[in-house]
Amino acid sequence: MIVEGKNAVKELVKAGRTIDKICVQKGDKMAEALALQAKSRGAKAVFCSRENLDKLSPSGKHQGVVAYTTDFTYSDLDDILAVADEGRLVVILDGVEDPHNLGSILRSAECLGAAGVVIGKHRAVAVNDTVIKTSCGASEYVKVARVTNINDVIRDLKDLFFKVYAMDMDGAELATADLSGDVALVLGAEGKGVSALTKKLCDGSVRIPMTGQIASMNVSVAAGVGMYEFVRQKGAKK
């Protein structure tokens, strides 16, 4: 896997991800420092011109750093549930396909302390290099479970007394929902929303009140708002 960008690679190094080779721009002090850190952990460090990095970079937005790493390691649902906390938050994504959206959701999940994120194996984006870069390295700290059937996950969580809410335009206002204890928020695919069967399995639906002319939010923005409301209610009850 190729990961590029200073923040993303910095978090890979900090988290101890195996980096086989790191290519950095000559004369860029921060990039050269990253190369030395990676080298101390066994990586091969190569100092390149910007032109050479442009050729190596899949996106052309490498910020002076391109690293070759091991593939992302997924967690199991049990790993997510093992997080010890008084009130856990699990984010379930029903068919999100845009890697930028998944990366942004992982970044918000890390910042707001979610126990983990669940994604599907089929018709959904996996954790790839774009996701890692967009997450600014948050993917190294958020447990992500990739499952065959997210509806089975919802059933399992409900058996464990999680409150499961679909974020949907037809739901009750988010701030009125009881987000105490263990909670799972389900968000649907871009343009499609949560599927009918998945929504039916949830305990209810919640919506973000909006006053503008556009009736929907980007899924990553909606996820961030939902996670923040969970944190807000949790803090208010302390």
Most confident of 1-5, 34-38, 225-229: 225-229
Provide the β-strand partners of residue 46. 23
Amino acid, single-letter form, for residue 6: K
- pLDDT exceeds 70 at position 20: yes
Give the tens place of pLDDT for each residue, 175-212.
999 999 999 999 998 778 899 999 999 999 999 998 88
For 171, the 3-state DSSP assignment is strand
Name the residue with higher pLDDT: 186 or 60: 186
Give the tens place of pLDDT for each residue, 111-138.
999 999 999 999 899 999 899 989 988 9
Phi and psi at 38, nearest 5°, equal -65, -40
pLDDT value at residue 146: 97
Cβ-contact 13, 21 below 8 angstroms: no
Cβ-contact 174, 232 below 8 angstroms: no
Phi and psi at 196, nearest 5°, equal -60, -45
Q: Is the whole model's pTM more than 0.85, yes or no?
A: yes
Name the residue with higher pLDDT: 234 or 85: 234
Across residues 106-114, what is the average pLDDT? 96
Domains and CATH numbers, the chain: 2-69 (3.30.1330.30), 77-236 (3.40.1280.10)
Provide the β-strand partners of residue 166. 186, 205
pLDDT value at residue 236: 73
Antiparallel, parallel or unpaired: β 2-4 and 65-69? antiparallel
Angle in degrees, 0-180, between the axes of helices 99-111 and 219-236, rounded to the nearest 10: 10
pLDDT value at residue 238: 62
Mean pLDDT of the chain: 92
